[in-house]
Chains A and B, each alone.
Chain A
């Protein structure tokens, strides 16, 4: 059976300027990462800022070109056949990016058109999906700039789900949300898996969220995938009582310590 995601020795480098020197060095954001995700599975990738999580998501979203290795989504080569992959994938990232002057309904309509959904199809589907993510339907016409961060993130979830993706890429979807909104988003992700049979790749630095939602957990550190297993197996492997201890044992650093963001070339 075809796997949902099959990544083999995937490599991505960016150019970075060294201080005042004119020469630029190549910095590896992903170093020969290999992983597979089964259909319907939820895999969480843990890592600090700059560990390569967002680079992995962007590569699978066809937003970056790779420097080596391969990636396939439901059998389609991400780099040779990006259009086929785009029909299957959608994404929620930490920033709920929208046209801020437009309403949630207008933003969703715009996103849906790019996936070939006509006004007739979206006129019923948008209110339905907004209601499903717990967005008050009477605020559909309000500009996005008037909505709270939690509300905006719900619209971001609705945008991702509107196109019925079979692979959902979640890049820190609950970062910066209040506890209640965070729980609502997490519950929604679980519901998506139950009702929609979606495969989920969750990149996060929220350890409890990873443990709560994921079937398997990977630790990505400085572009290297150090392990990928069930939460219990990860803890056993590093002889740790908690995921935080496991992370510390795997990387040699506490989870809160941050790396530089390596995910774009310097100009």
Chain B
């Protein structure tokens, strides 16, 4: 019993250490982070301006509502990008620095290591997402009088469990291909969002894509946040989005861990941990 408690304590210290290290790195690269944030804002603006562009071209749309829908899609795209990027850095950054062997030969279990990365990714991603949403909403002077921002944040946090599970699967890619693995993570992010109706309703997709939307956590994250922000839906009304997210999360985390475990074994069998780049 005492041994188990001591092991659990050591694991939690390790998990906190992963978060601590990421905080150090954010502090050291703060100006770069700021530059990337500016880029994300610019990127989001190019998407959100589409609503005004359609109206200017003679289209009959509710500009305020469409702008908000596009903004929600762009913010979730950026958020998912951060989750995948941080988790992919579990391998990619450590490999680049050459520290990966020291990290992987330490006694901290891989699930706790990845949980630390996931925890940081969620916290850091939510801060960035809230800032991005606030800056762009202020730019367009969006009012959103009914919005239930707390409910939207809860939905996004629950969706993050699934996103982290999928992120664990993409995190293993740099172990298999140091040169191209990280970019494959972007492919996963794009596919996940395109089938989930990132800027449009899922109903406009071909039927086979709609089937994929059913199992994509991003579908429920997008629907839930839209309902919370546009219609002011509370948590009780969002249950139809929350329960699938919980189910997908409960499946994707163990699957993600297993995929990572297999990738790590592959790297250890073929001597791929040590290479930098």
CB of A117 closer than 8 Å to a CB of B = yes
Rounded to whole angstroms, the CA-CA distance of A86 and B11 in the bound complex is 14
Q: Is the CB of A87 within 8 A of B107?
A: yes
Rounded to whole angstroms, the CA-CA distance of A113 and B102 in the bound complex is 12
Show 14 A/B contacts (Cβ-Cβ < 8 Å), sorted by A.
A58-B101, A83-B109, A86-B106, A86-B107, A87-B107, A95-B98, A97-B102, A99-B21, A99-B97, A113-B17, A116-B9, A116-B107, A264-B272, A264-B275
Q: A interface, how many residues as a size bin?
A: 35 or more
Q: Is the CB of B13 within 8 A of A99?
A: no
Pick from B9, B10, B28, B102: contact of A159, CB below 8 A.
B102
Secondary structure dominating the interface of B: helix
Q: Which of A1-39 contact B (CB under 8 A)?
A: 14-15
CB of B262 closer than 8 Å to a CB of A = no
A115/B275 contact (C-beta < 8 A), A14-B270, A110-B17 known: no
A109/B98 contact (C-beta < 8 A), A63-B268, A83-B109 known: no
The 10 nearest A-B residue pairs measured at CB? A113-B17, A116-B10, A97-B98, A114-B106, A264-B271, A101-B28, A265-B270, A86-B107, A110-B21, A114-B108
| Chain B hits for A98, CB < 8 A | 97-99
Rounded to whole angstroms, the CA-CA distance of A102 and B265 in the bound complex is 29
Interface residues, chain B, with chain A CB atoms under 8 Å away: 9-11, 13-14, 16-18, 20-21, 24-25, 28-29, 97-99, 101-109, 113, 177, 265, 268-275
Q: Is the CB of B105 within 8 A of A63?
A: yes
A116/B13 contact (C-beta < 8 A), A106-B24, A110-B20 known: yes
Which residue of B is nearest A112, CB measured? B17
A101/B29 contact (C-beta < 8 A), A91-B105, A264-B274 known: yes
Q: Is the CB of A113 within 8 A of B14?
A: yes
Pick from B14, B24, B25, B97: contact of A114, CB below 8 A.
B14
Q: Is the CB of B265 within 8 A of A63?
A: no
Interface residues, chain A, with chain B CB atoms under 8 Å away: 14-15, 55, 58, 61-65, 83, 86-87, 89-91, 93, 95, 97-102, 106, 109-118, 143, 159, 263-265, 267
Rounded to whole angstroms, the CA-CA distance of A240 and B246 in the bound complex is 71
| Chain B hits for A95, CB < 8 A | 98
Rounded to whole angstroms, the CA-CA distance of A159 and B270 in the bound complex is 27
| Chain B hits for A62, CB < 8 A | 105
> Which residue of A63, A114, A264 has the most chain B CB atoms within 10 A of its CB atom?
A114
| Chain A hits for B10, CB < 8 A | 115-116
Q: Is the CB of A263 within 8 A of B274?
A: yes
Q: Is the CB of B103 within 8 A of A63?
A: no
| Beyond A99-B25, A102-B25, A115-B14, 11 extra complex contacts between A and B, CB < 8 Å | A87-B107, A98-B97, A99-B21, A101-B25, A112-B17, A113-B16, A114-B14, A115-B107, A116-B107, A118-B13, A265-B271
| Chain A hits for B21, CB < 8 A | 99, 102, 106, 110, 113
Q: Is the CB of A61 within 8 A of B101?
A: yes
Which residue of B is nearest A107, CB measured? B99
Q: Is the CB of A91 within 8 A of B102?
A: yes
Rounded to whole angstroms, the CA-CA distance of A224 and B25 in the bound complex is 43
